[in-house]
Structure formats: structure tokens, C-alpha cells
Amino acid sequence: MSQESILVVDDEPDIRNLVQEILVDEGYKVSVAENTAVARKHANSKHPDLVLLDIWMPGEDGISLLKDWQSSGSIDCPVVMMSGHGTVETAVEATRLGAYDFIEKPLTMSKLLVSVKRALEAGEKNTASSLANEIVEMPIGSSLPIQSLRDQAKKLAAHDNVLFIKGEIGVGKKYFANFVHSLSIRKSKRLLALNEDNFNTREPAKQLFGTEADEIISPGLLESCKGGTIFISDVANLNEQGQKILSHLLQKKQFRRIGGANAQKFDSRVMVATQSDLQAEVKANRFDDELYFLLNVVPVRIPALREHLQDVPELLRYYIDFYCSKENYPYRNFAIAAQNRLLHYSWPGNIRELKNLVQRLLILSSSDEVSAEEVEAALEEQSEDQTKEVSNDKAAHEDLYQLPLREARESFERSYFLYQLKQVGGNITKLSERVGLERTHLYRKLRALGINTKES
């Protein structure tokens, strides 16, 4: 029996009750609302899979509610509009605003059920597509450290504890978190990636918890991830305020919207990562000791690539296949001599450095095989780039030191995002993955820094 939940919003009790009876008989779970205020409460507390929304109602009409939902992102399910006074213009307007379908009253049972079925199927496809677009990479390799890591991931996925992931920059801490999430009972829900910007802002509670005023509810990031997993990229960078918020969430398992009267249940698994020594941060009084003990329940360390160099050939094959299928690059093998050179390289940037090197060589190589000479030239160029960047950074930092803190940070962030934007060719989806920011937050950040993505 289908367990999808449907919210029916209509001011006429006869229609409300009739639609509810029909849908309940079909096996759906149905809630009803007589106006937009009640509809908002239901949508935010019950998270329906589909909304049937009447257009003409006393007070605020359905079109206004649909506009509000679409602009605020309060719901992520299909909306089917209903009206007894429908016109072509009204139907077009509803569709333009994001409604999945428009059905006229008087409702016929067949029309209603067909529309409901199609809308629910569309909602499922959108969810599946969203999950499919997430890159889920299991730890690649046949070495004992990587086999052990995969085994740990399976055990960690079976529980709901806080997961504390440690490792150097570029080892794939976020990918490991995503892999554990993909094996867990929460895999059908989203993994929401957060960083210090979400906690260290002037009003973090508004962004994380949402707001509630005059019966208008704007859910925060935590509610958008209800039932899923929250990943915090470098927990060591949280300031005192951010640490208190995270500590409260882990201990109380609830939060309150700004302006709200009722506590909301915090139903997300928390995974955090860091490249820092948190124990040293605690001793230096830069990190809260109580939060450290809350996080350090299930620690797992991702090994540096230099600790499992025997996996380099397998990693090369994996990323060749990855870029050839995803970016449609011409297929090229690495010569044995080229692989041997990379087996004796120290990989300071770990997996991320290897991945970038493979991409560069696939683009630049003109033959079917990447030679040892090409690899050597790429490594030397990479080393020169890093030296040049350090030199440029030093000069830039000397200029930044003369600015007030806020201006210095803004100047750095603007340069950082312009550089990253250039690296991904202006592609916002790739930029979001590269810098570890949700697209909505990324757009806000770029606008605040005055960066026009179309011109950059």
C-alpha cells in the first residue's frame, strides 16, 4: 500500500472531505487545511509528498501561497492547483510559478487520481535525480589501509552516532562521509554540506533554524535536511558561537525557530571533518572541550596517499574512466614508466592532487598513452605553480595586512572565488562542489562580493 502523504488545501469543506475520502481509499495518507495559514503549518510540520491547492480562497489565495513557497523554498514537493473558475491565463500563471498541474472543478475521480499519480511519480524522479547527481565515491584501492577503511564505512553506516573524520587536506573526507551516508538508513534523504560560514555569521540561528512570524514559517537549513545527514567540513574553524550551537544540537536534539514557540526535533545524523589536531586546539583553549568529547565518540582517520602508494595505478585507472565518461575526454593510458614515477611521488595534495593531475594530462596529452616525460613535466609545472602562488600570496598578504579585518577578508574571498570560478570555467555546479558550498549559499556569497558569474 502506498504511504505517500498528501495535503489538500480548500476552503470548501465538502470538497475537502470528498477529496480526502477518495485519496484515503486509494491508500494515501491525507491531511487537510481550510486556508493558507493552516496549509503553511501543515507543510512545515508534516512535509507532504504532494499538495493539492485551491486557487480561490477567502483572504490569501492559492497563487500567493504558491509564490511564497517557491520563493522561500519552503517545500520541495509537487503542487497541483485546483479551481472552479479556471481560465487559460490562470493555468499558465500557476504553471509559470512552478505548479506541476492544474485541474478544474468539478473534480472527476479519474482526473484527480491520474493527476495525483503523475505528480507523485514526478516528485520521486526529482528526488532520485538529485541523489543520482551526488558523487558517491567509495575509497578506491586494494591496499590493507583502504580495505580497512571500506570495512569501517560499512560498520559506521549501521549506526547513527556522530562521525568524526580526520585526515590531511585532499584525502577525501567529504567523499568518505557521502559514502557512509549512501550505505545508511538515511540514504534516501539528503546529505547537507555545511562549513564555518553557516555557523560563524552574525545571525547563524536564522539561517540554520529558520524563522516564524505571524503564522509565516521560513524553515532553516536544518529542516531541509530532516531525516538526512549533516556534514560540517572543518569543524575546527567554528568560532565560539558556532561551537555552542553545535554542542546544543548534539546534546538537546532539538532547536527553536527564531520567533517560534515550539521546539523542533533535530533529526539528522551529524558528521564532522577536520585536518587539524582538535586535541591540541582544546589544550590551546581554541576549541570547547565538551564539544570535543561529544564529537570524538567514533573517530576515523583517512590515510594520506603516501601511506598507500600501491593504490596509485588503480586510482589512475578510476579517474581516467571517471573523466572520460563524465567529461567525454579521449581515453588515454598511463605508460608503465609514468606509473612508476607517480608511485615514487610524495603526493602532498593527496587524492585531490592525483585527480587534478589526471584531468590535466588527459586534456593536454596528444597520444593514446601518457608518457613518463609528460608526467615529469606536469609535476614540475605543478611545483612551479605552487612556488609562484606562495610568492604571490606573500605579496598579496602584505597588502591585506594594511586593511581592516572585514575588508581584508572580503578582498581575499573575492580573489578566492574569482580564481575558483576560472578553474571551473564559470560552471556554478562544479564551483559548488569544488568550494564545498550549497548552491543557494554560494549565489548569495557571490552576489555579496559583487561577482557576476556571467562576466567572470
Give dist(CA 326, CA 175) in Å, integer. Answer: 17
Q: What is the DSSP letter of 332?
A: -
pLDDT tens profile 312-325: 999 999 999 998 98
Number of CB atoms found within 10 A of residue 25's CB: 9
Give dist(CA 315, CA 143) in Å, integer. Answer: 12
What end-to-end distance do the CA atoms of the chain give, in Å? 52
Instruction: Give bridge partners of residue 229 from the DSSP assignment.
Output: 191, 269
Q: What is the DSSP letter of 258?
A: B
Given a cut of 60, whether residue 279 has pLDDT beyond it is yes
Given a cut of 70, whether residue 309 has pLDDT beyond it is yes
* Residue scoring higher pLDDT (124 or 213): 213
- The pLDDT of 362-388, averaged and rounded, is 80
In the structure grid, which three cell numbers stand for residue 167, read together? 585526515
Given a cut of 60, whether residue 364 has pLDDT beyond it is yes
- Whether the Cβ atoms of residue 190 and residue 173 lie closer than 8 Å to each other: no
Least confident range from 48-52, 184-188, 395-399: namely 395-399
Task: Note the pLDDT of residue 19.
Answer: 92
Long-range Cβ contact pairs of 364-369 (< 8 A, separation 24 or more): 365/332, 367/332, 368/331, 368/332, 368/333, 369/332, 369/333, 369/334, 369/335
Segment (H or E) for 419: helix 405-423
* 124: confidence class by pLDDT, cuts 50, 70, 90: low
Tell me the angle at which helices 405-423 and 439-448 cross, rounded to the nearest 10 degrees.
Answer: 120
- The cell 552576489 sits on which residue? 447
Given a cut of 80, whether residue 404 has pLDDT beyond it is no
List Cα–Cα distances, 31 to 11, 67, 372, in angstroms. Answer: 14, 21, 66
Question: Average model confidence (pLDDT) for the chain?
Answer: 84
- Whether the Cβ atoms of residue 50 and residue 32 lie closer than 8 Å to each other: no
In the structure grid, which three cell numbers stand for residue 401, read together? 595586512
**Phi/psi at 304 (5° precision):** -70, 155
Domains of the chain and CATH, by start: 5-133 (3.40.50.2300), 144-303 (3.40.50.300), 312-384 (1.10.8.60), 403-456 (1.10.10.60)
- Whether the Cβ atoms of residue 205 and residue 245 lie closer than 8 Å to each other: yes
Q: Is the dihedral of CA 373, 376, 382, 383 positive or negative?
A: negative
* Residue scoring higher pLDDT (349 or 122): 349
Task: Note the pLDDT of residue 2.
Answer: 42
- The pLDDT of 106-128, averaged and rounded, is 78
- Whether the Cβ atoms of residue 230 and residue 255 lie closer than 8 Å to each other: no
Task: Note the pLDDT of residue 1.
Answer: 34
- The pLDDT of 105-117, averaged and rounded, is 87
